[in-house]
Structure 1
Amino acid sequence: MATAGDPDILSDFIAPPNVAIDGNFFTFTGMRSLVGSPPSTAFKVLKAGFAEFPALAGQSVSIAVLEFPAGLAPKP
């Protein structure tokens, strides 16, 4: 059995000055519109990068969701 942990997880993040570092800093709610929503009728893009979610600063991480409506054929 092995146990590991980060002794100071806050050192892994670049926090902007004058910002409270609590659970809200690490919570991104921009994708909640996807949960329980009906299928998309138009092409939509939702993304979370540093601009939308400042907790990603220095993490080299981002996420994007591309929604294609049913029956949408790609253009050649």
Structure 2
Amino acid sequence: MRFSGVFILVLVGLLGCGGGGYSNDEAKQVCDLEANKPCSNAETTAQCISCYEECGADCAVLESCPVQYACSAD
């Protein structure tokens, strides 16, 4: 009985951590490529990093100037 309780706690912990976001370094690598685009600036780069950290591959680049980022709803 105790083993199943520990297993459930570990499973819940893993599911809670599996949000799909990128690490800060991964997000910066992606956003460094975006930073050279005409409508990008320091603020949009920070938004880009935040979006990729939260959403990972589900971060969408919205066509606007300045550039905006949002989590896409697949």
Shorter-chain TM-score tier: under 0.3
Which one has the bigger helix percentage? Answer: 2
The TM-score with structure 2 as length reference comes to: 0.24
Larger RCO: 1 or 2 (CA < 8 Å, sep 6+): 1
The TM-score with structure 1 as length reference comes to: 0.23
